[in-house]
Structure 1
């Protein structure tokens, strides 16, 4: 629970009475003695309408300075209830924070399935019959979609209509993924669950029709007798979901467990393969749930990339693990003078073993990688840097580690308000969004780790409890610098980077007493400023702005603010053409060829066959976009989208800044206290101001 407040027994009892009595119009609820307590039941007269009940029964109980929870019966069909949180602007600050942080608890404890919608009101006029009419008119408006989004929606509707009437069953994943499974596949799963049936069922996703299909099996592969035969039956070039009855002898007795193998080969490139790699990890859990409903109980699950990784010894080792003799605690070795340390040494001195928070997050890690195994970041790592103090007054240091191959960063997320927001509110939407937007500018987060228990370091705030693993947008810089020192072919590549945020907000370190109270070192940690232009052609600029619009819309919808655009610029000069001496300008045609420059530079800074720099098609902002004049290669990514306005700590900060503006000096909001949509618009305006479309005036 977000505030530690729970529903009382009296509230649960009166809520059950409300559900069973159609004549009961509503229930008023308050917070008393750290519990949700019922105040009064509103009973309607026969034949009265919702509008008349609101004006006659509800309005007299609405007060200008007192927060209130309201449950109303509004609809004839189930779910029939509406949950209203009324927090007036003039209510005491503590009451505002308490009611806002408990509103989700109210719905969750009473049962979210009973509520069709939740409403947050701050003005008494919103809780009149006219206020509800305005609310209905607003929700009935179509979403502001771009032409591309509208056309995509029409295509999806046409596909659904074309598939109507076929004998299929929908697989549902959350509220956003649905994929039908054919009856032949369902029958095969049911047959595998029965003794004596076929011992192998393989399923695949048809990316064109977006259906789960049964893979036809030949007579030689329908009943593999060993793991080696199974490996031969699984496609080495396409992903597969494989269910296999493995009959073998162990300790003198015959056993036949059901095994599940998810294979996703990385050797098959191309756009079609990328779409398949996005669909399969999202559908894995749903396929397992359908198999369970058909009576097929899976005893062991395996997830590998190549079928060749499946071995009989490995399977037997998982099915029948050998007893390991426990050893006493071994004190971890000190890192000493070496910059290379074991990441588990750094993290477990104060933190218990970490575990994933969300099963579907593994899907996001899978869909972008090529040959990325878990051991790439769980083994030896190198300390990359320690982040300097953040510009906000409640800053907590974040620590960065980089993997040994420099492809990934491990960043601590020490604030509870940040990691709880990402885990509870943004994680699932982020995964689903990234699966359908391969060219997104949002940083690729590959894993989210959290401590499973308490420890001395967490209690004393000496060690963070949560970490994220994300792609390193600076990947390749180390190779370039090494070649420079060694006199290699990459002497002409220089790297620059900027962490860009709108600087027109109120920054206490900079704006209070003109910054005289803060050291220059602290002020230098504020957002960077980019004193140049990103020169792009029109097609590049349009794609850049489109990605920014879509990505920031997702963040604003979930309340995120204070994110930044991390811009990397690789400066390159073409080799001097024949006939040109030192100091002379290179050939103009060569200098203005972004394709030629891109090929030369990306060959060094973005290997085309390894993650995280595998492009989802042509070169992207992840791998490097050549400027229109051919002088630079740019990378860009949106980072640090963990600060959410509806969490308790941000709400406290917002109140403090409002009091400062009211009582001391009107400076306006900080980037961490403004509204999500206002920050989004100012962020987009900043990004547009940095772009210059070649052949046109600067984009403002």
Structure 2
């Protein structure tokens, strides 16, 4: 658990935050001075973010003096532009400076707006703050974590399990799910989806590698969504469904698992079924809030009416009253009270 320092942004910096989020600045350098977050320097956009990166960041960084850098990327999110937060804390900085900057970062993110910050980079050397250093950080972040010896053994065991005969005795093998690692391209595609570059992703499982690949990434109209579903292979689909419900505009991530009947092999059906839950957990960890999970046989089911019914089921406001059946005829009057002991004497 991190402990915050109570250091807050001064009035000038708070105003610059608003200006920056309106797209009027490319770079905002923030330092801690006099127990306050204050602006040390700003820079306007010159070209695209990649060509501006080294030219604008290099002059702002002092070799032994820590600071924060808020750098505007060109990618768009629903709120506006996405931002990269660089925490420049050099190795030569004092222990107190390192502690103060590490403890104040959460406050900076909150006051700027955490939703705008889509990426973070912690740098301790100047090489890490360059464009090449940033790209290396993204590659390292996207790479799957190395497996332990135990995980390697489990992976080999799974390879033998998928070839065994399916029966009531082997059913327990798939209940926990199989976590297939994501390729670098898949991770990058999901991150681009979150940033707003795409609204549709299609994923396939390489049955030999047991890895999840991105098969297609695009901006897809709802009317063209059914055509994206293959008729001969299983697939996972992730679609950002933009719609209006009761007068409110909404954007909802819908996860679709398509399985075209028994035209697929037993192994393919089992792999897609077993990998679905772990894959959804990985998507959630990358910031994809799936509102609805669907399973379909073919793409013709993916109509606007179907998605709306699944996301917003119609409520039955007036249920018919239950008609109590009449009792048998000539039964006589009901006894309302029990006779007392005096009546029985």
TM-score, normalised to structure 2, is 0.46
Normalised by the size of structure 1, how large is the TM-score? 0.24
Looking at both structures, which has the greater relative contact order when contacts are Cα pairs under 8 Å and sequence separation is at least 6? Answer: 2
